[in-house]
Amino acid sequence: TVLGAEMHGMRERNFRPLRHRIGFVFQDPATSFNPLLTIAECVAEPLVVHGEAENAADARARVDELLEAVQLPTYFRERYPHELSGGQRQRASLARAIALNPELLIADEPTSALDVSVQARVLDLFDELHRELGFAALFISHDLAVVDMLADRIAVLHRGKLVEEGTGDEVLGSPREPYTQRLLASLPVPDPDAQAERRAVWEALRAADAAL
């Protein structure tokens, strides 16, 4: 269920009233924006679609507020997506996602397309907005360091099935499922002896899983 509604099999007409309560940050901001629209038009799109503004010009004050919230200069409103860096585009994507003050924000690998130097700043901004605006967040990631940094609770999926769920200490500190254990054992560490030990654990877990 999402926001109290069962999503499996839900028809579009039933989902429509929920749309404004959910924000979404896509994995690749470069492909999630219409290249023919300015950043102001992209950020204002949810407001226009849901009838809260006639057009981007009508929503200018709100767009400026959103750009400031994600630490982008307001003059970026006149730029096009290709004129922004990857990190700037992802900030603009986050501005669009929070335009309607959603109750739930879903972020699908939002930093995987960014340089490592930019990822930390975007994650800090995400965490800051999460605390300031109070939305619930579903953060989808394969990066366990990112998950450990942001998540209050962690769910592990394997081949489309939920195999483990709990707090960070429970899932990352004392994982019960072999798949979660393999994930953690596969993480590289600087110490070569510790890395060799992790590798041995990973190979043992993989062999045990293959024998099942």
What is the average per-residue pLDDT within 11-25?
89
Judge contact between 111 and 90, C-beta under 8 A: yes
Positive or negative torsion for Cα 198, 200, 201, 203: positive
Residue 44 CA to residue 47 CA, distance in Å, equals 5
How many CB atoms within 10 Å of residue 130?
17
Give the pLDDT confidence of 25-54 residue by residue, as tens digits: 998 888 889 999 999 999 999 999 999 999
> Picking from 108-112, 130-134, 136-140, 207-211, which range would have the lowest pLDDT averaged per residue?
207-211
Give the pLDDT confidence of 104-129 residue by residue, as tens digits: 999 999 888 788 878 888 889 999 99
Positive or negative torsion for Cα 7, 8, 14, 15: positive
- The per-residue pLDDT for 161 is 94
- The per-residue pLDDT for 28 is 86
Judge contact between 104 and 137, C-beta under 8 A: yes
Residue 165 CA to residue 203 CA, distance in Å, equals 24
Residue 159 CA to residue 200 CA, distance in Å, equals 24
- Residue 14's pLDDT band (cuts 50, 70, 90): confident
Give the pLDDT confidence of 178-206 residue by residue, as tens digits: 888 888 887 776 667 665 666 666 566 56
Residue 35 CA to residue 44 CA, distance in Å, equals 14
Domain definitions of the chain by residue range? 12-151, 168-212
CA-nearest of 167, 159, 122, 169 to 25 is 122
User: pTM of the prediction?
Assistant: 0.83
Give the pLDDT confidence of 143-164 residue by residue, as tens digits: 888 888 889 999 999 999 999 9
Helices assigned H by DSSP within the chain? 12-19, 29-32, 39-49, 60-69, 86-97, 116-133, 144-150, 168, 178-185, 192-211
Of 3.30.70.1880, 3.30.750.24, 3.40.50.300, 3.40.718.10, the CATH number of 12-151 is 3.40.50.300
Q: Tokens 């990066």 map to which residue?
A: 143
- Residue 209's pLDDT band (cuts 50, 70, 90): low
Burial class (CB in 10 A: 0-12, 13-18, 19+), 78: exposed
Q: Tokens 């069962």 map to which residue?
A: 6
